[in-house]
């Protein structure tokens, strides 16, 4: 490595547990989201990642004093003849970043050198680093200054404050708040509404049971194929919950869970990873998913979180509570000649995906086509 770089040496770990000491130090000293944490990545590596054919690839950079300086939690999988590395979590990760010590300011050139060396050591042809915030906690993400393009989707963020009730009053119109109060009262006539957390194994299992039943029914109705159909997806969420990096919340009514939210917090930012609601017409008309979201916002405000990340993808409920967008970028970096060809293919594919996502009719056709191939 270049002697002027903050990354004096790098090391490749195929066993994530061997990187745990450096990972712990960098988690404590680096701005990040829950998707970069050891608990999230290792839960995914061991379950859904493995089932999808990914193998762990953790890159640790150290400074001249041999102190951990940065870490990339990656996963490798073949794309045709090429070996491709991407962020751990794949489609289950919404905002990807390097873990880099807060006192360091590496440049794009430093990261280019790091990726070239990591690719050489690991035998990787290219890196596909998707859904990266261009700016995070006020600092430019230098990885996005390498050859990059806008991601097909954008992140949706809600700034939080000390009082959730006041916050919701400022985001929702008077008519909307009145409508939701009526919906809550309608459900409450038959049985009280309670928010339950998956802090205990039995409660976590109950919430996950409801989530998978609700989500898969919804996807079948909409002809959407997803990884939630895999048993390993349940294993991943359960492992994350056991590790404490995935928090589960359910809206309980009349002895059943009628809406679910799951996500994790890191550095004051809560990242919502998944949600669902009961499709029963009499229940769905009262918007249980929205009611649970509002309750979750109040809880997060009381806990001192400053940001709620509702992830990628357009949805009415996101527009209702979010006050800012997060610009995301996809970085494609080639290491070999084969990787250069792969980079062009990936770049074109993601641009095509952006076109499809911007057109509702094309999105529906694409989902129907995927359902036929399941």
What is the residue-wise DSSP string for 266-314? ETTEEEEEEEEE---HHHHTT-HHHHHHHHHHHHHHHHT--EEEEEES-
Average the pLDDT over 144-150 and give the result: 95
pLDDT of 370 above 50 = no
Dist. CA 257–CA 183, nearest whole Å: 17
Dist. CA 34–CA 153, nearest whole Å: 19
Query: How many C-beta atoms lie closer than 10 Å to residue 217's C-beta?
Result: 14
Per-residue confidence (pLDDT) for residue 350, from 0 to 100: 85
Question: What share of the chain has pLDDT > 90, as a percent?
Answer: 87
> Six-digit token pair at 44?
């995914």
CATH of domain 9-153+327-372: 3.40.630
Q: How many CA atoms lie within 13 A of 102 on its CB side?
A: 11
Per-residue confidence (pLDDT) for residue 117, from 0 to 100: 97
**Residue-wise pLDDT tens digits, 77-94:** 999 999 999 999 999 999
Q: For residue 3, what pLDDT band results from cuts at 50, 70 and 90?
A: low
Average the pLDDT over 232-260 and give the result: 97
pLDDT of 164 above 60 = yes
Per-residue confidence (pLDDT) for residue 222, from 0 to 100: 87
Strand 307-312 and strand 155-159: pairing? antiparallel
Per-residue confidence (pLDDT) for residue 359, from 0 to 100: 53
Nearest-5° Cα angle at 161, 138 to 31: 30
Per-residue confidence (pLDDT) for residue 353, from 0 to 100: 79
Per-residue confidence (pLDDT) for residue 105, from 0 to 100: 95
**Residue-wise pLDDT tens digits, 169-199:** 999 999 999 999 999 999 989 899 999 999 9
Question: What share of the chain has pLDDT > 70, as a percent?
Answer: 94
* b/e map 151-179, b = 16+ CB within 10 Å: bbbbbbbbebeeebeebbeebbeeeeeee
Per-residue confidence (pLDDT) for residue 347, from 0 to 100: 87
Average the pLDDT over 331-356 and give the result: 88
pLDDT of 373 above 50 = no
SS3 76: strand
Average the pLDDT over 59-80 and give the result: 97
Average the pLDDT over 204-211 and give the result: 98
pLDDT of 247 above 80 = yes
pLDDT of 358 above 60 = no
Q: pTM for the complete prediction?
A: 0.91
Per-residue confidence (pLDDT) for residue 214, from 0 to 100: 97
Altogether, the residues listed in the chain come to a count of 374
Torsion of CA 62, 68, 73, 75, to 10 degrees: 40
Dist. CA 9–CA 35, nearest whole Å: 24
Per-residue confidence (pLDDT) for residue 351, from 0 to 100: 83
- Topology at the third CATH level for domain 161-305: Aminopeptidase (3.40.630)
SS3 360: helix
Per-residue confidence (pLDDT) for residue 374, from 0 to 100: 32
- Radius of gyration for the alpha carbons in the chain, expressed in angstroms and rounded: 21
pLDDT of 368 above 90 = no
């Amino acid at each position: 490595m270049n002697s002027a770089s903050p990354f004096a040496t790098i090391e490749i770990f195929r066993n994530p547990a061997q990187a745990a000491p450096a990972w712990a130090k960098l988690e404590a000293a680096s701005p990040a989201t829950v998707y970069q944490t050891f608990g999230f990545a290792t839960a995914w590596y061991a379950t859904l990642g493995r089932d999808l054919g990914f193998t762990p690839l953790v890159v640790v950079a150290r400074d001249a004093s041999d102190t951990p300086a940065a870490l990339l939690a990656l996963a490798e999988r073949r794309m045709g003849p090429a070996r491709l590395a991407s962020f751990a979590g794949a489609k289950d990760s919404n905002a990807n970043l390097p873990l880099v010590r807060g006192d360091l300011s590496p440049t794009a050139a430093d990261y280019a050198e790091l990726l070239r060396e990591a690719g050489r050591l690991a035998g990787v042809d290219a890196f596909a680093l998707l859904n990266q915030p261009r700016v995070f906690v006020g600092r430019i993400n230098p990885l996005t200054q390498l050859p990059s393009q806008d991601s097909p989707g954008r992140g949706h963020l809600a700034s939080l404050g000390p009082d959730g009730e006041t916050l919701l009053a400022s985001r929702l119109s008077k008519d909307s708040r009145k409508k939701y109060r009526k919906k809550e009262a309608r459900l409450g006539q038959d049985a009280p509404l309670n928010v339950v957390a998956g802090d205990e194994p039995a409660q976590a299992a109950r919430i996950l049971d409801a989530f998978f039943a609700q989500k898969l029914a919804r996807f079948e109705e909409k002809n959407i194929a997803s990884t939630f159909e895999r048993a390993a997806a349940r294993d991943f969420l359960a492992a994350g919950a056991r590790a404490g990096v995935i928090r589960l919340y359910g809206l309980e009514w009349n002895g059943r869970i009628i809406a679910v939210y799951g996500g994790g917090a890191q550095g004051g930012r809560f990242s919502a990873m998944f949600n669902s609601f009961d499709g029963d017409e009499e229940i769905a008309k009262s918007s249980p998913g929205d009611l649970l979201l509002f309750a979750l916002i109040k809880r997060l405000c009381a806990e001192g979180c400053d940001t709620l990340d509702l992830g990628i993808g357009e949805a009415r409920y996101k527009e209702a509570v979010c006050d800012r967008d997060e610009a995301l970028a996809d970085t494609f970096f080639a290491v070999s000649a084969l990787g250069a060809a792969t980079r062009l293919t990936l770049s074109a594919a993601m641009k095509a995906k952006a076109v499809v996502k911007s057109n509702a009719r094309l999105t529906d056709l694409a989902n129907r086509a995927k359902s036929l191939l399941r």
